[in-house]
Amino acid sequence: MSFENQTVSVHYARAVAAAAQDKGFSPSEILQSAAINENMIKSDDMRLTPEQLAKLMQSAWLIEDDEFLGMAATTSRHGVFNLMAKQAVHCKNLRGVYRHLCRFYNLTTTAFTLNFSYDDKIATLEMKLTAPAYDKHHMLTDFLLILWHRFPAWLIGNRIPLISAHLDFAKPAHADEYRLLFPCPIQYEADCTRILFPSELLSAPVVQTPDTLKAHLRRAPLDWFKRQNYYPTFTRRVLDALTPENRFENLQFEEIAASMAMTTRTLRRKLTEEKTSFQEIKSIARRDTAIHLLSRKIIPISRIAHELGYSDAPSFSRAFKEWTGVTPIRYKK
């Protein structure tokens, strides 16, 4: 399984659709542009591919002409982020990127305030929404934190490990998504929304160029939703081993542990520390690979079942319905 196919909660599609409707736009038009059926977002078990969520947001940006998706006290014309990014790519290092990011948005919007600070050990980016009531699904907060984290990391060509993330609201229903979005300790009901990371990274040079930025912006926000490097270490390594090519049903836990030069007991303990298990990872890998393959209409369901290691299509259909609440045929339609 390629981690770029990792799926995301349908919660985010619902939030985009609800905000669009509140602003007088047609949710149907926005959803259809991303090949998302309106009935699909009614199920809490449904998942989206990163491509679907990216297309959904691109559509909303174009139709609403608001990069804040109607979830803030003021709007931000589509293209404002690109303007900031074209300046950021000329910054010397990560410290300069965060300083520029804060200065730019504090000058161009009153929807939120940003503050960047650091000491010898920890760098902190804080954000306060001016009118948090507009962000009732916390979609804008989640998206902006992803943006403040992932885009600077792309600029320096390296991941930014988070020490912790603080959110100024109670633990939401979709909190399970945060284990992947922000792989670090999460504090809820904080006095301010913030991310903390090692300050030693601030001297990392910007390695991207205006030419590479053009391609990055054409794909945006897709690259920010592809979370290749954000699983905890051992979960990531087990996921890397679970691919259709290796046959899901044949690859044993013992083999994976041996490939990591450790005992099964040690690997099981490492996964427990990362709050997961082999069976959970295997189920996630199968589910997300299935959703990705079903989005490619030319692949028959019987072949998908075979690639995922199921003995027949009915067995796969039963498992898929447990994961998503619908059958593969209905999902494909």
**CA-based nearest residue to 20, from 4, 34, 8, 9:** 34
CA 323 to chain centre: 19
**Has residue 3 got a pLDDT over 60?**
no
Q: Find the mean pLDDT for residues 214-220.
A: 89
**Has residue 124 got a pLDDT over 70?**
yes
**Has residue 331 got a pLDDT over 60?**
yes
CB 111 within 8 A of CB 148: no
Cα(192)–Cα(218) distance, rounded to whole angstroms?
A: 32
**Residue 226 vs residues 207, 212, 219, 235: alpha-carbon distances, Å:** 20, 18, 11, 16
Cα(19)–Cα(136) distance, rounded to whole angstroms?
A: 9
**Has residue 228 got a pLDDT over 50?**
no
* Dihedral, CA of residue 78, residue 79, residue 81 and residue 87, to nearest 10: -170
- Tokens standing for 166? 């603080």
Q: Residues with Cβ < 8 Å from 246, sequence gap 6 or more?
A: none
Cα(163)–Cα(169) distance, rounded to whole angstroms?
A: 19
pTM above threshold 0.85: no
Q: Residues with Cβ < 8 Å from 275, sequence gap 6 or more?
A: 179
- Tokens standing for 326? 């619908």
**CA-based nearest residue to 282, from 232, 240, 321:** 240
DSSP strand pairing (186-187 vs 164-166): parallel
pLDDT at site 229:
46
pLDDT at site 250:
58
Domain 233-332 CATH class label: mainly alpha
pLDDT at site 231:
57
**Has residue 5 got a pLDDT over 60?**
no
Measured N-to-C along each axis, helices 233-241 and 278-294 cross at an angle, to the nearest 10 degrees, of 60
CATH 1.10.10.60 range(s) for the chain read 233-332
Reported as a single tens digit per residue, the pLDDT across 196-208 is 999 999 999 999 9
